[in-house]
């Protein structure tokens, strides 16, 4: 299998603009592990035009990863090279030279995934009687910048930022296909970064993408047309964005609580939608419902959504 891996890597001529020496990278710890991939925290010496040490995140494969996972990692690299937006995670460099594992070096987001951030603030808000040890546990490796309480205005700002990142991706004719709070990262000063392009694919001419039958699918974030016909478009990303708003309002709850994924498609077809969460304004609920229109064409664009959130934010000033 090793020779095949080398062949795949060689298919991509090393890009001097991005190639970074492994010797200038010091791996510090594992931030998270998936089925085949893992994310590490590291310090990089003189990366992306910045002198000295920079804390970075490194995406790499686990030892038992298969060829297709390496392909996914490399196509994520190809996509990340092309994108540049404050609300989309930024590529800093890559290690593809022979003699070590493939590393994608991306900007480090201090607060980690938005989902875990929201859930941590929830614990701190609701269980203010937690003892110090428990609070320390929640803070774990994110204990440097303390998780402060998240305000309704913060949540609107997150939604607006994610819209802007997604609007940029859709302008680039990219469909994310796995937009969810777990795939948005939160960097310092509470800036949201859309990430995890593992599933991202170029949009075909007809603006739809037929998914290859592989891997696990995020059913509770998926539009009915994706579930039924594997159709992925910017409009199915908008559906997922509606679910993401629901995650924001519920501080990281899992959508459709109590509903089994096997039953979901039928319920959605019959017109069932999640009800308005307790602390959600009718205006915000109207926005999420508009994302869940059965007809993809009737759903708003990210540009429209962004304008609506800008207006809601203005009202909060
Ligand atoms: O909430 P988390 O700690 O934040 O759990 C996940 C975990 O790795 C697996 O994806 C964290 N993670 C991923 N990418 C980054 C990054 N660029 N900066 C900081 N943490 C990251 C994520």
β-strand 209-210 against 231-232: which pairing, if any? Answer: antiparallel
User: Position of tokens 């931030």?
Assistant: 31
- 88 touches ligand 1 (CB under 6 Å): no
User: Position of tokens 């308005």?
Assistant: 276
How high is the pLDDT of residue 146?
Answer: 58
| pTM to 2 decimal places | 0.88
Torsion angle of alpha carbons 114, 115, 118, 121, nearest 10°? -100
Q: Count Cβ atoms below 10 Å from residue 27 Cβ, excluding itself.
A: 13
Mutation test residue for ligand 1: of 27, 28, 29, 32, the one with most atoms within 8 Å of CB = 32
ipTM: 0.98
- 198 touches ligand 1 (CB under 6 Å): no
CA distance 53 to 43: 6
Convert the pLDDT of each residue in 105-162 to its tens digit. 999 999 999 999 999 998 666 545 445 555 555 555 554 445 667 899 999 999 999 9
Return the residue whose CA atom lies nearest to atom 10 of ligand 1: 32
Asked if 219 contacts 101 with a C-beta cutoff of 8 angstroms, the reply is no
């Amino acid at each position: 299998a090793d020779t095949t891996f080398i062949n795949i890597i060689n298919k991509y001529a090393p890009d001097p603009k991005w190639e970074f020496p492994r010797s200038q990278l010091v791996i510090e710890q594992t931030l998270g592990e998936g089925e085949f991939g893992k994310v590490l925290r590291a310090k990089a010496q003189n990366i992306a035009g910045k002198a000295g040490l920079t804390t970075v995140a490194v995406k790499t494969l686990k030892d038992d990863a298969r060829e297709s996972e390496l392909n996914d990692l490399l196509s994520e690299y190809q996509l990340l090279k092309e994108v540049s937006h404050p609300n989309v995670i930024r590529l800093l460099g890559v290690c593809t030279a022979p003699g070590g594992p493939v590393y994608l070096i991306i900007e480090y987001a201090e607060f980690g995934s938005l989902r875990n951030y929201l859930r941590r603030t929830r614990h701190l808000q609701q269980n203010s009687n937690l003892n110090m040890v428990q609070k320390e546990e929640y803070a774990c490796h994110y204990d440097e910048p303390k998780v402060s309480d998240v305000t309704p205005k913060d949540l609107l700002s997150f939604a607006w930022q994610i819209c802007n990142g997604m609007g940029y991706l859709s302008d680039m004719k990219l469909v994310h296909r796995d937009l969810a709070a777990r795939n948005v990262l939160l960097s310092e000063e509470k800036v949201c970064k859309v990430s995890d392009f593992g599933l991202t694919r170029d949009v075909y001419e007809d603006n739809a993408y037929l998914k290859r039958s592989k891997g696990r699918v995020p059913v509770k974030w998926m539009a009915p047309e994706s579930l039924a016909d594997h159709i992925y478009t910017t409009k199915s990303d908008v559906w997922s964005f509606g679910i993401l708003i629901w995650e924001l309002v519920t501080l990281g709850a899992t959508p459709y609580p109590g509903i089994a994924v096997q039953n979901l498609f039928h319920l959605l077809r019959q017109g069932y939608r999640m009800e308005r969460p307790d602390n959600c304004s009718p205006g915000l609920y109207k926005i999420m419902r508009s994302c869940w229109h059965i007809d993809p064409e009737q759903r708003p664009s990210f540009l429209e959504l962004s304008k609506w959130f800008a207006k809601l934010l203005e009202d909060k000033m």
